[in-house]
């Protein structure tokens, strides 16, 4: 059973976190059948945390977890904080495959999307 976790930064502003949750829901509809579940986790300032979301996925029966960092630039959150948290959960759940994808900002399709906006 494979679960996707969209990992966002988190904000003090609830509408910002709800925006991410809504996007995750849209993504889940698009991916129907490819993942048993698509959820959101936040690095800070909002819940659930990344460890909590991973633990919940494992408790729900996931044996494969894919994490997509919903970040644009490879700052310290992407380069250090998120990999550290995932590494810790890997040790806690040795039977679960965890794949940390490249962050959104690394997508080659971003320039085309930006060009469509301006």
DSSP string, 57-79: HHHTT-SEEEEEE--SS--HIII
Q: Return the range that interacts with its own copies (CB under 8 A); candidates 49-57, 66-74, 82-90.
A: 66-74
Question: Which residues, at least 6 apart from 59, have a Cβ–Cβ distance to it below 8 Å?
Answer: none
Residue 101 contacts its own copies per CB under 8 A: yes
Any contact of residue 59 with its own copies (CB under 8 A)?
A: no
Q: Is the distance from CB of 57 to CB of 3 less than 8 angstroms?
A: yes
Q: Which residue lies nearer to its own copies by CB, 14 or 59? A: 14
User: What distance in Å separates the CA atoms of residue 36 and residue 45, rounded to the nearest whole number?
Assistant: 27
Q: Residue 24 CB, nearest distance to its own copies (Å)?
A: 9
Shortest distance (Å) from residue 76 CB to its own copies: 6
CA–CA distances in Å: residue 34 to residues 25, 28, 70:
14, 9, 19
- Please confirm, yes or no, whether 93 is among the known catalytic residues: no
Q: Does 33 bind its own copies (CB under 8 A)?
A: no
Please report, as ranges, the residues that interact with its own copies according to CB under 8 A.
4, 6, 8-9, 11-13, 15-17, 19-20, 23, 26-27, 30-31, 34-35, 66, 68, 70-76, 78-79, 101-102, 104-105, 107, 109-118
């Amino acid at each position: 059973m494979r679960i996707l976790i969209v990992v966002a930064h988190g904000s003090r502003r609830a509408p910002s976190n709800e925006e991410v949750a809504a996007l995750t829901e849209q993504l889940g509809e698009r991916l129907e059948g490819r993942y048993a579940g698509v959820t959101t986790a936040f690095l800070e300032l909002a819940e659930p945390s990344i460890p909590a979301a991973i633990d919940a996925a494992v408790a729900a029966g996931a044996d494969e977890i894919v994490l997509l960092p919903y970040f644009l630039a490879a700052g310290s959150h992407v380069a250090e904080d998120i990999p550290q948290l995932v590494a810790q959960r890997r040790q806690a759940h040795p039977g679960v495959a965890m794949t940390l994808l490249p962050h959104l900002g690394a997508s080659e399709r971003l320039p085309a999307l930006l060009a469509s906006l301006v």
